[in-house]
Amino acid sequence: FFFFYVQSIIPLVMALPHTVSSPSSLSPTPSFKSKPPFHSSFNPRSLSPRRCKLSSFRCSSSSSSEKHHNTNPPKKSDDVVELPLFPLPLVLFPGAILPLQIFEFRYRIMMHTLLQSDLRFGVVYSDSVSGSAAEVGCVGEVVKHERLVDDRFFLICKGQERFRVTNLVRTKPYLVAEVTWLEDRPSGEENLDALANEVEVLMKEVIRLSNRLNGKAEKEMQDLRRNQFPTPFSFFVGSTFEGAPREQQALLEVEDTAARLKRERETLRNTLNYLTAASAVKDVFPSSS
């Protein structure tokens, strides 16, 4: 059990100090070289990432016979919009910065279209091993771009609204889906500021101990919250868990700020317990580090 716990927590431990201390140091992420299909059924766990099959979405482009019999198709809800999708092996959170390098032909086509419209597309997490993609994602808005002579693009994107895929409109040359927007529900009587402050304290301790274990000089910890309200701060915290994309996806899908902060608090406590034990071992056996 301890071995499994250590193996599962190490990626998170390694990711936290790097991401928080230098959020602009993300390396450009290349586009997929193979088409990432939507598949795998929904996970029954309430906070686990939801994934879907390409065939599980009803494509809105019907056959000619269907069009003949359905002369009055239902109108789209005002809350449903069409959005081009970009599956990636990472999770984008609202407010997070995402550098991208676009070189695959179909996504270059998508970029040409976006640069003539509203510069927004949907980022959905795709597992590079199973090929499954989550049905909940985050809008990426292009805030800066550079087009190279070979028609590649370098982009800087910023996470905006979350969405849920409800229907695939088309799959070629790139995925386009109908989506609905996700917003957090009211958290009732929960003291969100107190929860956010507690999470910030735990983050600072995790970073301090991680730096100590990595031989970095200890320095006064910066203000991680930066006057953010609890909801955007909870997204910021989730964005620092880079070594655990499935956990990040679960956090992205939570529709309650208090529940998200509590889950992050639990993860940080577990990480802190591991780091505290590792630090104690290092003090007793300095040569083992």
DSSP 88: E
Domain architecture of the chain: domains with CATH:
31-66+77-182 (2.30.130.40), 192-281 (no CATH)
Residue 158 and residue 202: Cα distance in Å, rounded?
26
pLDDT at 166 over 90: yes
Lowest mean pLDDT among 125-129, 174-178, 213-217: 213-217
SS (H, E, C) 106-160: HHHHHHHHHCCCCCEEEEEEECCCCCCEECEEEEEEEEEEEECCCCCEEEEEEEE
Tokens at residue 116, please? 């003539």
Q: What is residue 53's predicted lDDT score, i.e. its pLDDT? A: 46
157 Cβ neighbours under 8 A, 6+ residues apart: 92, 97, 98, 99, 100, 123, 140, 141, 142, 143
| pLDDT tens digits along 204-215 | 999 999 888 888
20 Cβ neighbours under 8 A, 6+ residues apart: 203, 207, 224, 240
Give me the mean pLDDT over the 42-51 stretch.
36
- What are the phi and psi torsion angles at 243 (to 5°)? -75, 0
How sure is the predictor about 30, in pLDDT bands with cuts at 50, 70 and 90? very low
- Tell the residue number behind the tokens 């040409």, with chain if given: 112
pLDDT at 121 over 90: yes
> What angle do the packed helices 230-239 and 192-213 form, to 10 degrees?
30
